[in-house]
Amino acid sequence: MAMREEVNERVATSDVTLDESIYPREKIDHKRVSIFAENLRDGFKFEPIQVQIHPEKEGKYRILDGVHRWNAHKEVGLTDIPVIIKDLKGIDPLLYAAKMAIGPKQLTEEETRSTARRAFQNNPQLTSSEIGKLIGRSRQTIDNYIADLRAVRQIKIDQKIWRMNRLGIPQERIARRLGETRDVIRSHLGEMPIMAKSPNSDLSKGLTIPQVAAKHGWSEPMLWSLVLEGKPDQTRFKNLGWGLRTWDLWNFNDCDPRFGDDWPGRIPAQMIGHILFYFSNPDDLIFDPMAGGGVTADTCLALGRRCWSLDMEDRADLRPEIEHYYWDMTIKSWEDTILESREKPDLIIFDPPYFQKKAASYGENSIARLPRLEYLHFLENFFRFLKTTAKKTTRLALINSDWRDFQSCPALKEETQNAILLTDYYKILEPAGWELTHIIQAPLSSERFNAIIVSAMQEKKILGVTSRYILLLKLKMDIEKNNISGK
Ligand SMILES: C[S@@+](CC[C@H](N)C(=O)[O-])C[C@H]1O[C@@H](n2cnc3c(N)ncnc32)[C@H](O)[C@@H]1O
């Protein structure tokens, strides 16, 4: 180990961390640490270790090179350590750490293999040659190391494309979302019929949907989409085990766990199913601008509708069909959205988060952060915008609950300025150009309140909220005529 007198910077040893995810060795060599500690006690100065600003822990650094030296500093009781803070400019930190590690002591075969595999998992765009160059192995060796990972990734990409294509997302948007070229997407699309063959054959042999899903790694909604293809809506309801409600009161106790993710404010797929049944037709285009856990998209797969979904939460790997989009609250019209596309939706399903009180459940800049008036103001603008994306026949389904400030508050003492009721929504929908056609009650389950809570509420005369409504709207005719005549 070459010794140096000069150092770039000194930081506290306690601010330096070992991040296992970028450490290429299987274990720390304690004998080596002891020798280095001995050297330090004898007054030797080591080369500064190399660190990177920690991407997740504020004020901390993670080691790229020098784990043994850092441990020796700690063993001797030194509170600071010379470091070079590296900016890797896009180089994979694990591969950089591996390259540095090879210098003083070769990695074992198992360490090299594991480094190559981890690097590929972190960044599947890396080629075998790129990985090989950094860790000192040939392209063919790396190909062998990662062959199975590549195959799994291929299957995963195929499934993402299958799902997005099935939901009617245009090819150029699929390509953008998955970071692939349109040619790649086109060639994958050619494989789609072959891809469905094996699950289809297992289904026809009598395997259940959960069994086939587990065997082939398909999601259940994807399989429902296959199994129910071409069937009328009523048959689909029957096969899904959803009793069809004939009147305008839709009670559902639980969310059907097969559709959508566990998500704050998750709504039952059965409810979306009923909206689709009554207010859309097979193959219609559905738009969900704040799609959350993806229950709308999943239900659309089962009921044979196309669906475009957006959300500020980006879950590209798990939910590529929910495209990443943030409705910036400082903007009054959002012309740059995907809805610029020529096709206009047949049905918009809009399930916004509650205002203020539920803020902690969603991302930092969500509209749930807004105080009451600003929240209503945002929605009014948003309804005006939605009108510009709609056609004459488009329906808007707005899902909302009366939000009253009832917690710990007797009914007589509730403050109206802390509440948003059904009528408040209607007051802004009307001037924004939307006409109400149906009010459907779809109450929240009251089972979430246990007996102790209920008795405490009754004691204090607190009136809880379980009401939830679906407002169905269409464009107001007079406004539409004005638009047509250019006024
Ligand atoms: C009530 S949740 C939707 C739940 C969904 N229907 C489900 O069942 O999973 C509302 C969603 O709005 C999203 N959201 C809130 N403010 C947003 C904004 N300004 N732009 C985009 N999405 C936003 C949140 O991330 C959240 O996922």
Domain extent listing, the chain: 9-137, 151-222, 228-484
Residue 6's pLDDT band, with cuts at 50, 70 and 90, is very low
Distance, CA of 229 to chain centre: 27
Does the beta carbon of 312 lie inside 6 Å of ligand 1?
A: yes
Does the beta carbon of 288 lie inside 6 Å of ligand 1?
A: no
| Ligand 1 closest atom vs CA 265 | 1
The answer on pLDDT for 33 being more than 70 is yes
Rounded Cα gap, residues 69 and 78, in angstroms: 11
Does the beta carbon of 351 lie inside 6 Å of ligand 1?
A: yes
User: Ligand 1, atom 18: nearest CA belongs to which residue?
Assistant: 327
pTM of the model: 0.76
User: Ligand 1, atom 13: nearest CA belongs to which residue?
Assistant: 290
Does the beta carbon of 293 lie inside 6 Å of ligand 1?
A: yes
Cα dihedral: 20, 26, 28, 30 (round 10):
160
User: Ligand 1, atom 8: nearest CA belongs to which residue?
Assistant: 266
Does the beta carbon of 323 lie inside 6 Å of ligand 1?
A: no
Kindly list the distances between the CA atom of residue 412 and the CA atoms of 287, 407, 409, 415, in Å, as whole numbers in the listed order.
Answer: 40, 12, 8, 9
The answer on pLDDT for 4 being more than 60 is no
Instruction: Give residue 165 CA to ligand 1 midpoint distance, Å.
Output: 23
Does the beta carbon of 290 lie inside 6 Å of ligand 1?
A: yes
Does the beta carbon of 326 lie inside 6 Å of ligand 1?
A: yes
Least confident segment among 196-205, 211-220, 359-368, 398-407: 359-368
Residue 99's pLDDT band, with cuts at 50, 70 and 90, is confident
Residue 458's pLDDT band, with cuts at 50, 70 and 90, is very high
User: Ligand 1, atom 4: nearest CA belongs to which residue?
Assistant: 292
Kindly list the distances between the CA atom of residue 243 and the CA atoms of 237, 250, 252, 300, 394, in Å, as whole numbers in the listed order.
Answer: 7, 10, 10, 17, 26
Does the beta carbon of 366 lie inside 6 Å of ligand 1?
A: yes
Confidence (pLDDT) at 339? 64
Confidence (pLDDT) at 16? 95
Does the beta carbon of 363 lie inside 6 Å of ligand 1?
A: yes
Instruction: Give residue 363 CA to ligand 1 midpoint distance, Å.
Output: 9
Least confident segment among 187-191, 202-206, 287-291: 187-191
Between 192 and 226, whose confidence is greater?
A: 226
Instruction: Pick 9-137's CATH classification: 3.20.20.70, 3.30.497.10, 3.30.2350.10, 3.90.1530.10.
Output: 3.90.1530.10
Confidence (pLDDT) at 251? 92
β-partners of residue 3 are 46
Does the beta carbon of 311 lie inside 6 Å of ligand 1?
A: yes
Rounded mean pLDDT, 143-172 = 88
> Residues 51-66: pLDDT tens digits?
999 988 889 999 999 9
Rounded Cα gap, residues 59 and 57, in angstroms: 6
**Residue whose CB lies within 8 A of the most ligand 1 atoms, among 266, 362, 470, for a mutation test:** 362
Rounded Cα gap, residues 37 and 48, in angstroms: 15
Encoded amino acid at 245, one letter? R
Q: Which helix (H) or strand (E) holds 34?
A: helix 30-41
Instruction: Give residue 341 CA to ligand 1 midpoint distance, Å.
Output: 22
Rounded mean pLDDT, 25-34 = 90
**Angle between the N-to-C axes of helices 295-303 and 220-227, in degrees from 0 to 180, rounded to the nearest 10:** 20
Rounded Cα gap, residues 306 and 282, in angstroms: 8
Distance, CA of 200 to chain centre: 28
Rounded mean pLDDT, 167-175 = 94
421 touches 482 (CB < 8 A): no
- As given in the structure block, the two tokens for residue 29 are 């060599």
Residue 3's pLDDT band, with cuts at 50, 70 and 90, is very low
Instruction: Give residue 359 CA to ligand 1 midpoint distance, Å.
Output: 11
Does the beta carbon of 260 lie inside 6 Å of ligand 1?
A: yes
**Residue whose CB lies within 8 A of the most ligand 1 atoms, among 312, 331, 381, for a mutation test:** 312
The answer on pLDDT for 248 being more than 90 is yes
Rounded Cα gap, residues 174 and 184, in angstroms: 10
Residue 487's pLDDT band, with cuts at 50, 70 and 90, is very low
Q: What's the fold here for domain 228-484? A: Rossmann fold (3.40.50)
Average per-residue pLDDT for the chain: 89
> Residues 221-242: pLDDT tens digits?
999 999 999 999 999 999 999 9
* Burial letters 81-111, b for 16+ CB under 10 A, else e: bbbbebeeeeebbbbbbbbbbeeeeebeeeb
Instruction: Give residue 89 CA to ligand 1 midpoint distance, Å.
Output: 34
Rounded Cα gap, residues 353 and 264, in angstroms: 9
| Ligand 1 closest atom vs CA 325 | 21
- As given in the structure block, the two tokens for residue 202 are 């297992």
**Residue whose CB lies within 8 A of the most ligand 1 atoms, among 288, 311, 332, 382, for a mutation test:** 311
